[in-house]
Amino acid sequence: MKHLAERARQVIPGGVNSGQRSIPGLTDLVITEAAGARFRDSQGREYVDYHAAFGPPLLGHNDPDVGAAVAEAGRTVDLCGVGVTAGEVELAETLAELVPSVEKVLLTSTGSEATFHALRVARAATGRRLVVKFQGCYHGWHDAVSLNVISAPEKVGTHDPISTGILPEVLEATLVLPFNDEQAVRRAFAEHGDDIAAVILEPVPHNVGCLLPEQEFLRTLREECTRAGSVLIFDEVITGFRHHLGGWQAISGITPDLTTMGKAIANGYPVGALGGRADLMELFSSRPGGPAFFAGTYNGHPAVVAAALATLRKLREEPVHEHVFRLGERIRTGLAEVFASLDIPALVSGYGSVFVGYFMTGPARTYDDLLRNDANMFIGYRRRLLEHGIFELPLNLKRSHVSYAHTDADVDHLLESAATAAELARGDVLDLTGASTMGGADAHR
Ligand SMILES: Cc1ncc(COP(=O)(O)O)c(C=O)c1O
């Protein structure tokens, strides 16, 4: 019988259902089982999973409490596409209670839909054209934000779309600035302030690993947006619930006007959310007469709402954050020691449950700093970790995650394996095609 991966390539472009799931060197990966901190493939290989599907399963794969809540929802309600369910009300109340900026909230199925609608309503509210984003931040697949994530060095400072097929006028309406650079923000507002509808950012740019935000930078964004009447959007799709139940805004004390959420909110079930100031949220057409059209057949689906409620309940009631923060810290400290003992230049960054070992010297404040990262070593090290049954996504600059299901023994195994993997990776010379920048736009230029 043909291998499933081969059959997949016959009928699915590239054999996978999302960009960056097909990994050079691992194109035959067929997942057959996932539980806790591990997944298995069709060849019987088992991996300790630090990739974590780009971030959702903070409790671990197939969490039994979340699964039970979903099953229970399936026995009682179903999607009816009219009115509201008790679960949706409870989830909205919970989000309003937990997340400082959220006065009202709407549910979507994905993070991309949440950021799309955040920008739409910002333009609706302000009547303005421009959106500001930051080099290295990812906000989903839609046109306004599909640019300047993992850019090649020569593309930094230019518009660098991650896709073809986007109208140039849409790309031109997005200004791209360097992260953690308040002078660049002040200049942009001085020049274009009257026409800036929104500033959108990952408060911690985790789509390039982990650049920690400087408090002065976040304060400047808040100040300039307030002064110019622009909408400040924190995209907390990764940071929300994972770093704090109230997101990075609860940690930093800087409150945005709108917040987008997803990923860890429902431990892997498809839920996104957009919440914020009531006057902005009331512009959506879920309120009759609201001018900003908002819809989605699956929004607020009872099964995924049940998953979100069960996830948030467990995050509140059990010492999840305490556990993942402790293991995350052990890994960051341990890896820094391993690389130092081998005289390998490395900077281990991260926060809480997130870690990433860059192979470079010096600080990581902005995307420009990350251009010093040795991509060959970064990817090679992770390919070598696979030989130890450890999965950290072997693509340049990707972050790794710890879940509630990971144990101290898993961390011991990672730290022991890291030394061998790093030592061997030092000698590897790789073909980095498809593993070092993001998007396919280059191929068509
Ligand atoms: C910060 C951030 N925002 C938005 C998105 C888009 O979310 P989704 O993939 O659920 O559409 C992602 C996805 O990785 C993300 O990391």
Does residue 188 sit in the same domain as residue 249? yes
**Of ligand 1's atoms, which has the minimum distance to the CA of residue 270?**
10
155: which 2 tokens?
Answer: 């593309």
Is any atom of ligand 1 closer than 6 Å to the C-beta of 111?
Answer: yes
Q: What is the pLDDT of residue 441?
A: 65
Q: What is the pLDDT of residue 1?
A: 52
Is any atom of ligand 1 closer than 6 Å to the C-beta of 230?
Answer: no
Q: What is the pLDDT of residue 445?
A: 42
Residue 257: inside a domain, yes or no? yes
Q: What is the pLDDT of residue 225?
A: 98
CA-nearest residue for atom 8, ligand 1, is 111
Is any atom of ligand 1 closer than 6 Å to the C-beta of 247?
Answer: no
| Domain hosting residue 379, numbered range | 4-62+319-425
Q: What is the pLDDT of residue 27?
A: 84
Is any atom of ligand 1 closer than 6 Å to the C-beta of 148?
Answer: no
Whole-angstrom distance, CA of residue 39 vs CA of residue 52:
10
Does residue 273 sit in the same domain as residue 131? yes
Q: What is the pLDDT of residue 443?
A: 47
CA-nearest residue for atom 13, ligand 1, is 140
For residue 340, the domain's CATH number is 3.90.1150.10
The preferred substitution site among 54, 239, 261, 263 for testing ligand 1, maximizing ligand atoms within 8 Å of CB, is 263
pTM (whole model) above 0.85: yes
Whole-angstrom distance, CA of residue 178 vs CA of residue 186:
12
259 DSSP β-pair partners: 234, 275
Does residue 51 sit in the same domain as residue 171? no
Query: Could you tell me the CA-to-CA distances from 444 to 160, 163, 164, 165, 384 in Å, in that order?
Result: 13, 9, 7, 10, 32
The rounded Å distance from CA 337 to ligand 1 centre is: 32
- Sequential DSSP letters for 133-182: EETT----SSGGG-BSSS--GGGTTS--BSSSS--HHHHHTEEEE-TT-H
Catalytic residue among 50, 138, 367, 404: 138
Is any atom of ligand 1 closer than 6 Å to the C-beta of 109?
Answer: no
Identify the segments of the chain with pLDDT beneath 50.
Answer: 443-445
Whole-angstrom distance, CA of residue 148 vs CA of residue 239:
20
CA-nearest residue for atom 7, ligand 1, is 111
Is any atom of ligand 1 closer than 6 Å to the C-beta of 184?
Answer: no
- Number of domains observed in the structure of the chain: 2
Does residue 328 sit in the same domain as residue 279? no
For residue 210, the domain's CATH number is 3.40.640.10
